Amino acid sequence: MNTSTPPVIPWQETIFTTLKQGGIQQVAYVPDAGHAHVIRRVQADPDMRDIVLTTEEEGVALAAGAWLGGQRAALLMQSSGVGNCVNMFSLLRSCRFPFLTLVTMRGEYAEFNNWQCPMGQATQGALELMGITVLRASTPEEVEDLVGAAVDAAFEGGQQVAVLLSQRLIGRKKWIRQ
């Protein structure tokens, strides 16, 4: 088992920097390898708070509570977690809370786990059906602009926004037998 820290990919550092510059103070997540670098950076930053969730829909409520308390929050999740949040997304719409989520995609490019495919294929549609604006980053060059635009749309424009980080951007996952 390899316990070393994976190398930093520049677009992952860009996400952290953009969230920090955007005034995000709380970052909620269910642990996910695609978000691992951002999570580690948030944990190391004394001005940001990381909140580990037991399920993704808790993050929707947390983001609403952060806003009511005068702070900005972001929810990090994998595409499979979007399905867990659909009912809670009605809170955002009904109360018009700003909302920002960054979603690492599964069930797309070179997916080895067929259990990831149904929700991965439905993620964008589910978000859009719940009134959430969807932006998609497929290349490293798109990440900074799209995440920055999402932060502005959410917290300056009062919108609900999801940035999908494509599986191709994240890279192939391999099943490793131990």
Is 97 inside a domain boundary? Answer: yes
Is 80 inside a domain boundary? Answer: yes
Query: For residue 167, is pLDDT > 90?
Result: no
Confidence of residue 27 (pLDDT cuts 50, 70, 90): very high
Identify the CATH number of the domain in which residue 17 sits.
Answer: 3.40.50.970
Distance CA 168, CA 146 (A): 16
Higher-pLDDT residue of 17 and 174 is 17
Is 176 inside a domain boundary? Answer: no
In tens, the pLDDT along 32-61 reads 889 999 999 999 999 999 999 999 999 999
Is 106 inside a domain boundary? Answer: yes
Confidence of residue 155 (pLDDT cuts 50, 70, 90): very high
Confidence of residue 132 (pLDDT cuts 50, 70, 90): very high
Identify which of 16, 6, 8, 168 has the alpha carbon closest to the alpha carbon of residue 102.
Answer: 16
Query: For residue 123, is pLDDT > 70?
Result: yes
Is 166 inside a domain boundary? Answer: yes
Identify which of 16, 134, 126, 139 has the alpha carbon closest to the alpha carbon of residue 80.
Answer: 126
Q: Distance of CA 142 to CAs 53, 99, 124, Å?
A: 28, 20, 18
Structure tokens at 5: 């820290």
Is 88 inside a domain boundary? Answer: yes
CB of 78 within 8 A of CB of 30?
Answer: yes
Question: What is the enclosing helix (H) or strand (E) of 161?
Answer: strand 160-165
Is 107 inside a domain boundary? Answer: yes
Number of domains making up the chain? 1
Is 129 inside a domain boundary? Answer: yes
Q: β-strands 72-78, 49-52: how paired? A: unpaired
User: Which domain, by its residues, includes 29?
Assistant: 10-170
The pLDDT, as a whole number, for residue 122 is 80
